[in-house]
Structure 1
Amino acid sequence: MTINYNKEIMTSHPWTFFLLLFKWKGSIWKAVYMETIIFLICYGIISVIYKTAMGESSQRVFESVVRYFDKRLSYIPLEFVLGFFVTTVVNRWTKLYQTIGFIDNVGLMANLYVRGATEKARIYRRNIMRYCELVQVLVFRDMSMRTRRRFPTMETIVAAGFMNKHELELYNSYDTKYNSKLGTKYWIPANWALCMTYKARKDGYIESDYFKAQMEAEIRTWRTNIEWVCNYDWVPLPLMYPQLVCLAVNLYFLVSIVARQLVVEKHKIVDEVDVYFPVMTFLQFIFYMGWLKVIDVMLNPFGEDDDDFETNALIDRNITVSDG
């Protein structure tokens, strides 16, 4: 579910953002704690081996390796790779949120243009809204495991009232070789909604062709927005892009396990804190690994992470709007 913290930052105080650091659900701490523990354990094991188990000659060799990697660690362009990828993913996430599908405008248009207090006028309005919402349900159940569990079969969609039995038979009668992945059947209910506007105009419940065109334009906008969501799921970012980012971050800290070891020279007095705990390396790990986790969460917001889109809640909201 999406973690809402707007109440905590409603009023600006010096400690406002500091208090957010103590949240756990959806936090950076929850995202990176396991990787951090593994990193510190590996770092500590190597440090103990270096200081207690190695002979003097082996220590000199190890110290040479540490200096070699430490001087060349900056060869991995971590900031550039992460920064550019985060920008791409955030822009993609923003576009998905903008097109995810809030049915309010369709509902406003249906109530404004499909006029009448009769039962038939009400059925026209209700069917237009139901068919539009059906488009969203069909798309979401193939993108979100939460929605798929809610509607595991087409029969459950019928049972929920989004589709009648005869409509399911008609829907299944359309056959195309691209059914599964390209989702060419998702848009059949949108066509049904457009047919409803045509019939409503023919029966006089829509007063003019202009009103009918406006209603149809809103339905097309709704379908186009849902299609954008579907297309983003169908065509993800090229695989090599997230592979490169993941490889860069993990290799950087794999090398850091050795490169950031503090070399103890017997002829010098060692008074650095990092002898006992790699403070700055630890902070750097939190920041960069946290950056990677932000990408991981936002790359596909239709999963089951704490901050992923609540598709079922959105469907329920749109149902409430449709019934209003």
Structure 2
Amino acid sequence: MEGISMEGRLDPVCDLARPLLDRQSVLSIRNDGMAEENGSQPHTLARVFTALVDFSNARLAYVPLDLMLGFFVAGVLKRFWYLYNIIGFMDNIALMTALYVRGTAERARQYRRNIVRYCQLTQVLVFRDLSMRCRKRFPTLDTVAAAGFMMPHEKENFDGIQYNYNKYFLPFNWAWALIYRARQEGLIESDYYVTILSEEVKKFRTDLAWLCNYDWVPLPMIYPTIVCLAVHTYFLVCVIARQYVEGSKFESDMIDMVFPFMTSIQFVLYMGWLKVAEALLNPWGLDDDDFETNVLIDRNLAMGLKIVDEGYGRTPELRKDAFWDDQWVPLYSEESAWEKKYSHHEGSLSHMKKNPPEALSAAVVFSEAQRVSDH
């Protein structure tokens, strides 16, 4: 995802707050006008309005806003974070492929590169069905092939299988077939290595399957609807309940303020909380906070091919390190030298010189009591 900026993030909340503040100000002005017109003689409408304010204020806590909003935001955030953790990175597959598929010949390079590319092809196919960004980039399978993720003969093989459901499994079948053939040709030295590499591919496939499952079964639409209704209803009642009126039973605890500061702060915080959950509810859209699937696809392919091809076999020559004959001394720059004194990893009592007398006497008493009980 791109860098997060707060510029413009509070604009929707402020836009929602303006009508609320306008209506509360109008009601406050009208209530003051009624009190001034009638002087000491309370008008019937004023009494009714005062009773309505008291009634609304006393029952405002009936809406469990903190509980509902807290559970909703926590659930949405947990779901969002889990999807991010299983979105799929190619590093482990590429590293294991480079480690276990040995050889510098063109045949070995083809095995390594195609195993990575087939796994990445499946991620592209999955993201096309989940992410609007990826769908706009790859509207058809022809565009996937044109981008190089699928060769023409592979697309013919892919299209040759008639199936009413998605065919995410097919590139994984190709990848596992290459692993098996590499073992048969001796490019993988052990069956155990085949198992390790296959498990990495399996984990990648399982994570993509969970992404599809979470997209298939989203949060019930009634859940965010009820929470949104509860928040808006709460502050609609606040327009009446937070009015200052003379003769109210809450008058002793209230101050006649022209601007409702506390209600405004509460509105911004609660409505902002709700907007956070709404922004994270569908991370596959086009918003700034949604998953950058196209960037991840490009990064995975570039990283994977670099690891298994140019990065393969480029281990530095084995030599003695710089600390071979001398004791290692940490080297700090002038700006960071002050950290050396305070960054030791040691226990909080490691510098205690001697035990307190109370601790020694207690230890002696305990030792004597233990000796007597043993005999």
Query: TM-score, with normalisation over the residues of structure 2?
Result: 0.73
* C-alpha displacement of 1:285: 0.5
Specify the alignment match of 1:20 in structure 2: none
Q: Distance in 1 between matches of 2:49 and 2:104?
A: 85
Letter matched to residue 24 of structure 1: E
State the SS of the aligned residue for 1:3. Answer: coil
Please name the residue that 2:236 is paired with: 254
Find the aligned partners of 1:42 and 1:137 in 2 and give their Cα distance: 51
Distance 1:198 1:45, change over 3 A: farther
Q: Using a 3 Å threshold, how does the CA distance of structure 1 residues 317 and 275 change in structure 2: closer, same or farther?
A: same
2:200 aligns to what?
218
Q: Distance in 1 between matches of 2:120 and 2:92?
A: 12
1:295 to 277, 292, 298: 277
CA distance in 1 between counterparts of 2:139 and 2:20 reads: 40
Q: CA deviation at 1:217?
A: 0.8
- Find the counterpart in structure 2 of residue 2 from structure 1: 2
Task: Return the letter of the residue paired with 1:35.
Answer: L
Distance (Å, rounded) in 2 between the aligned partners of 1:318 and 1:31: 35
Matched, 1:243 2:235: no
2:77 aligns with one of 90, 99, 109: 90
Match of 1:16 in 2: none
Question: What is the correspondence of 1:1-324 to structure 2 with a 5 Å cutoff?
Answer: 1-4=1-4, 23-24=6-7, 27=9, 29-52=10-33, 56-177=43-164, 179=165, 184-264=166-246, 275-324=257-306
In the alignment, structure 1 segments of 5+ residues that lack a partner are: 6-22
Counterparts of 1:175 and 1:33 in 2: how far apart (Å)? 53
- Distance in 1 of aligned mates of 2:295 and 2:181: 32
Deviation at 1:125, TM superposition (A): 0.9
5+ long unaligned stretches in structure 2: 38-42, 307-375
Q: In 2, distance between residues paired with 1:48 and 1:176? A: 69
Question: C-alpha distance in 2, partners of 1:53/1:173?
Answer: 81
Could you give the per-residue CA deviations for residues 177-211 of structure 1, whole angstroms, max 9, x where no partner exists? Answer: 3x2xxxx4222211211111112112222122111
What are the Cα deviations for residues 129-174 of structure 1, in whole angstroms up to 9, with x where unaligned? 1111111111112111111111111111111111112222322333
Cα distance in 1 for partners of 2:125, 2:26 equals 52
Aligned in 2, Cα 1:169/1:50: closer, same or farther, shift over 3 Å? farther
- Percent sequence identity over aligned pairs: 48
Sort the Cα spacing of 1:75 and 1:142 in 2 relative to 1 into closer, same or farther, 3 A: same
Q: Deviations over 1:209-245 (max 9, x none)?
A: 1111111111000000111111111111223322221
CA distance in 1, matches of 2:34, 2:305: 73
Instruction: Look up the equivalent residue of 1:251 and give its one-letter code.
Output: T
Instruction: Give the Å deviation of 1:80.
Output: 0.9
Q: Distance in 2 between matches of 1:3 and 1:162?
A: 28
Native 8 Å contact 1:273 1:279 kept in 2: no
CA shift for structure 1 position 48 = 4.0
Rate the CA distance shift 1:306–1:273 in 2: closer, same or farther, 3 A: farther
What is aligned with 1:12?
A: none
Q: CA deviation at 1:47?
A: 3.4
Residues 80, 283 of structure 2: 8 Å contact kept: yes
Match of 1:10 in 2: none
